[in-house]
């Protein structure tokens, strides 16, 4: 059963400008594993914008309650290339209240826009 669906888009240049303007913003939005590639290189702005869009989409799929922490939703990619979601803390608590047992995530970025769709399944 589908409990919620969320979609969000982020303008990549605008998101990058926000990160430059407010250097501590990246640490408020992402955990270390989201900021750095397995090779040790810093993740690109388009990829971070897509992850931010996914976090917004998660909140929407959960009914957009207040009090969710950005870092309680982690977007990662499996070796196969499939994006996945790990939740903890405030996000896991809200998901448990609603009976969410599985997440489905799709990320994309093209033509200056990053997008994400998240489906919460019970």
Q: How many domains does the chain have?
A: 1
pLDDT at position 105: 98
Residue 72 marked as a ligand binder: no
Residue 8 marked as a ligand binder: yes
Q: What is the pLDDT of residues 17-39, one digit of tens each?
A: 999 999 899 999 999 999 998 88
* Helix or strand holding residue 21 (H, E): helix 12-21
> Within 10 A of 64 (CB to CB), how many other CB atoms are there?
12
Q: What is the pLDDT along the chain (122 residues), one digit of tens a residue?
A: 999 999 999 999 999 999 999 989 999 999 999 999 888 899 999 999 999 999 999 999 999 888 999 999 999 999 899 999 999 999 999 999 999 999 999 999 999 999 999 999 99
pLDDT at position 23: 87
pLDDT at position 43: 92
Q: How far is CA 88 from CA 68, 95, 109, in A?
A: 10, 9, 26
pLDDT at position 113: 98
Q: What CATH number does the domain containing 79 carry? A: 3.90.470.20
pLDDT at position 65: 87
Residue 28 belongs to domain spanning: 2-121
**Segments in 30-117 forming alpha helices (H):** 32-35, 45-61, 89-98
Whole-angstrom distance, CA of residue 98 vs CA of residue 101: 9
């Amino acid at each position: 059963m589908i409990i919620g669906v969320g979609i969000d888009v982020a303008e990549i240049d605008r998101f990058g400008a926000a990160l430059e303007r407010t250097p501590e913003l990246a640490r408020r939005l992402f955990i270390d594993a989201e900021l750095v590639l397995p090779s040790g290189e810093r993740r690109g702005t388009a990829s971070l914008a897509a992850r931010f869009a996914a976090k917004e989409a998660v909140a929407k799929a959960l009914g957009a309650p207040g009090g969710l922490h950005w870092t309680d939703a982690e977007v990662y990619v499996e070796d196969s290339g499939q994006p996945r979601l790990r939740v903890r803390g405030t996000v896991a608590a809200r998901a448990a209240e609603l009976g969410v047992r599985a997440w489905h995530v799709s990320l994309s970025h093209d033509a200056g826009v990053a997008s994400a769709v998240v489906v919460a399944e019970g």
